[in-house]
């Protein structure tokens, strides 16, 4: 926001959007090429601008840097504001450059014919290392993604592998068989170091194919495979054909959507440890219903998701869940947000039998039985004072990007 305010000085940016002459709503969606598409909705609210509206779209490539994204976004915001500014006194001082680089035009013409036929390939890896005196943790992984997305088709293939290596050192005073301390030559109790090593491996792949048969109906399938030792899966493979209905056409998906998805899934589970139900390998069939609602309006944004599933061979195994994400502006100065997810679980068929050590549990190597899980975060914000302070001053900004303790 600081960059936009410093680049666009012909207008004042109001903290209270209800008092502004022009309201700008920015929606974003990921495009088929891996980049992002921004939808800019300009709405005149007051004075001579009331009732005037316009919408622009900004497409960014996956390879664009943050600077390139914000520079292009700012340029389109300028274009969208130009008709509004032209009707004010400030328009007399604004200069618009309508020249375009010939090389840019040539690149645009070349891009209209795609030699890749909309296929996009992406490979990457990442690592995280944390070191302390008595513990260390190393996480590393890699992934590959291949997709082709058009208005009618959605095809994707992906794979991911992760490895987590954790090492802890516990210092324990040495005692003899009678429980008495063991001393060294100087009379000090000997301290032993007990080293614990933990290794958690995960890998998985997925393939999805979706075909649109109307602006609101689509069908397709998902194929997945994964290893997850924390959930006792040596390997799990699944196939889920499904149909989906969107109550709103895809043309307005940036602003609102309500999708209902139903599918039947076949799962083959191969377990690391025998489960509490006595299984080491099993194939189960289940069905699931998923619904998602999304609204992105001037008052804020709201996303609600719901799911229900149960195994068809035993209706006693089922689960349901609800999640809500909302950022709502009640007035121009008062807003609140909420992130909440809750699940009621009665289908933990993967739970391993047997006893586990405290270290197994604390390190996250195993999953404990639980009938439910809830995760919430919420808050509010009230701002008052000047609505016209557009100065940007970044002196003494931040903590030099350090995340630890000063």
Return d(Cα 263, Cα 288) in angstroms, integer. Answer: 6
Pairing of strands 300-311, 314-329: antiparallel
Examine the domain organization and report whether 268 and 348 are in the same domain: yes
| Residues shown for the chain | 406
Q: What angle do CA 178, 181, 186 make, to 5 degrees?
A: 145
Query: Has residue 266 been placed in a domain?
Result: yes
Strands annotated E in 174-299:
191-212, 217-228, 233-246, 256-271, 281-297
Query: Has residue 397 been placed in a domain?
Result: no
Phi, psi of 126 (to 5 degrees): -150, 160
State the first-to-last Cα distance of the chain, in angstroms, to the nearest integer. 28
Query: Has residue 206 been placed in a domain?
Result: yes
Return d(Cα 285, Cα 309) in angstroms, integer. Answer: 11
Examine the domain organization and report whether 124 and 105 are in the same domain: no
The pLDDT assigned to 9 comes to 78
Query: Has residue 401 been placed in a domain?
Result: no
> Do 37 and 61 touch, CB atoms closer than 8 A?
no
Return d(Cα 39, Cα 233) in angstroms, integer. Answer: 42
The pLDDT assigned to 399 comes to 57
The position carrying tokens 């397709």 is 220
Examine the domain organization and report whether 95 and 131 are in the same domain: no
Pairing of strands 53-60, 334-345: unpaired
Examine the domain organization and report whether 99 and 176 are in the same domain: no
Query: Has residue 403 been placed in a domain?
Result: no
> Do 237 and 268 touch, CB atoms closer than 8 A?
yes
3-class DSSP string for 155-199: EEEEEEEEEEEEEEEEEEECECCCCCECECCCCCECEEEEEEEEE
What are the structure tokens assigned to 153, written together? 């088709």
Half-sphere exposure of 358 (CA within 13 A, CB side): 0
Examine the domain organization and report whether 188 and 277 are in the same domain: yes
Q: Give the chain's domain count.
A: 2
| Of 109, 138, 171, the domain-final residue | 109
Question: Could you give the C-alpha distances from 244 to 29, 84, 288, 289, 290, in angstroms and in order?
Answer: 19, 41, 12, 10, 9
Examine the domain organization and report whether 176 and 85 are in the same domain: no
**271 CB contacts (<8 Å, ≥6 apart)?**
232, 233, 234, 279, 280, 281, 350, 352
Query: Has residue 398 been placed in a domain?
Result: no
| Of 52, 87, 109, the domain-final residue | 109
Examine the domain organization and report whether 105 and 131 are in the same domain: no
Examine the domain organization and report whether 24 and 100 are in the same domain: yes
Query: Has residue 254 been placed in a domain?
Result: yes
Which of 326-351 are b and which e, b meaning 16 or more Cβ less than 10 Å from the residue's Cβ? bbebeebbebeeeeeeebeeeebbbb
- DSSP count for the chain of H helices, then E strands: 4, 15
Examine the domain organization and report whether 82 and 152 are in the same domain: no
pLDDT in tens, the chain (406 residues): 667 777 887 787 776 777 788 888 888 877 766 678 888 888 888 887 888 888 888 888 777 777 788 888 888 888 888 888 888 887 777 777 766 665 555 555 455 577 888 888 999 999 999 998 888 999 999 999 999 988 889 999 999 999 989 888 888 888 888 888 888 888 888 888 888 888 877 899 999 999 999 888 999 999 999 998 878 889 999 999 999 999 987 777 777 889 999 999 999 999 988 998 999 999 999 999 999 998 877 778 899 999 999 999 999 999 999 999 998 888 767 888 999 999 999 998 988 887 666 666 555 566 777 888 999 999 998 877 766 665 655 566 555 555 555 5
The pLDDT assigned to 109 comes to 46
> Do 48 and 134 touch, CB atoms closer than 8 A?
no
What are the structure tokens assigned to 254, written together? 């940036």
| Of 80, 109, 138, the domain-final residue | 109
232: exposed, middle or buried (C-beta count within 10 Å: 0-12, 13-18, 19+)? buried
According to DSSP, the residues that pair with 38 across neighbouring strands are 28, 58
- What is the domain range of residue 165? 120-382
Examine the domain organization and report whether 299 and 357 are in the same domain: yes
Examine the domain organization and report whether 100 and 144 are in the same domain: no
Query: Has residue 114 been placed in a domain?
Result: no
Examine the domain organization and report whether 133 and 77 are in the same domain: no
């Amino acid at each position: 926001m600081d960059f936009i305010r410093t680049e666009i000085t012909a207008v004042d940016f109001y903290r209270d959007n209800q008092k502004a002459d022009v309201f700008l709503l920015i929606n974003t969606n990921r495009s088929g090429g891996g980049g992002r598409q921004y939808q800019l909705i300009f709405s005149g609210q007051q004075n001579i601008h009331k009732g005037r509206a316009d919408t622009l779209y900004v497409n960014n490539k996956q390879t664009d840097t943050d600077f390139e994204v914000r520079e292009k976004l700012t340029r389109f915001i300028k274009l969208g504001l130009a008709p509004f500014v032209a009707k004010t006194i400030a328009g007399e001082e604004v200069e618009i450059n309508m020249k375009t680089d010939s090389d840019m035009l040539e690149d645009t013409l070349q891009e209209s014919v795609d030699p890749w036929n909309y296929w996009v390939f992406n490979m990457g890896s990442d690592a995280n290392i944390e070191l302390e005196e008595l513990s260390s943790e190393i996480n590393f992984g890699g992934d590959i993604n291949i997709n082709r997305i058009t208005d009618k088709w959605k095809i994707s293939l992906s794979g991911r592998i992760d490895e987590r290596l954790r090492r802890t050192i516990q210092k324990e005073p040495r005692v003899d068989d009678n429980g008495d301390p063991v001393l060294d030559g100087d009379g000090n109790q000997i301290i032993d170091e007990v080293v614990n090593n933990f290794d958690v491996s995960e890998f998985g792949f997925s393939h999805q194919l979706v075909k649109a048969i109307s602006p609101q109906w689509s069908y397709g399938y998902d194929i997945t495979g994964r290893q997850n030792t924390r959930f006792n899966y040596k390997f799990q493979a699944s196939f889920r054909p499904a149909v989906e209905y969107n109550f709103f056409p895809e043309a307005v998906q940036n602003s609102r959507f309500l999708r209902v998805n139903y599918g039947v899934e076949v799962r083959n589970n191969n377990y690391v440890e025998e489960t509490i139900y006595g299984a080491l390998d099993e194939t189960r069939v289940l069905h699931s219903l998923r619904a998602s609602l999304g609204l992105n309006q001037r008052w804020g944004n709201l996303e609600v998701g719901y799911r229900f599933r149960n195994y068809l061979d035993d209706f006693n195994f089922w689960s349901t869940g609800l999640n809500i994400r909302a950022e709502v502006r009640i007035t121009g100065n008062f807003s609140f947000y909420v992130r909440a997810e809750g699940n009621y679980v009665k289908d933990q068929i993967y739970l391993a039998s047997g006893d586990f050590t405290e270290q197994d549990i604390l390190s996250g190597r195993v999953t404990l039985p639980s009938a439910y899980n809830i995760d919430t975060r919420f808050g509010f914000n009230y701002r008052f004072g000047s609505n016209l302070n557009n100065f940007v001053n970044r002196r003494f900004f931040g903590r030099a990007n350090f995340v630890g303790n000063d």
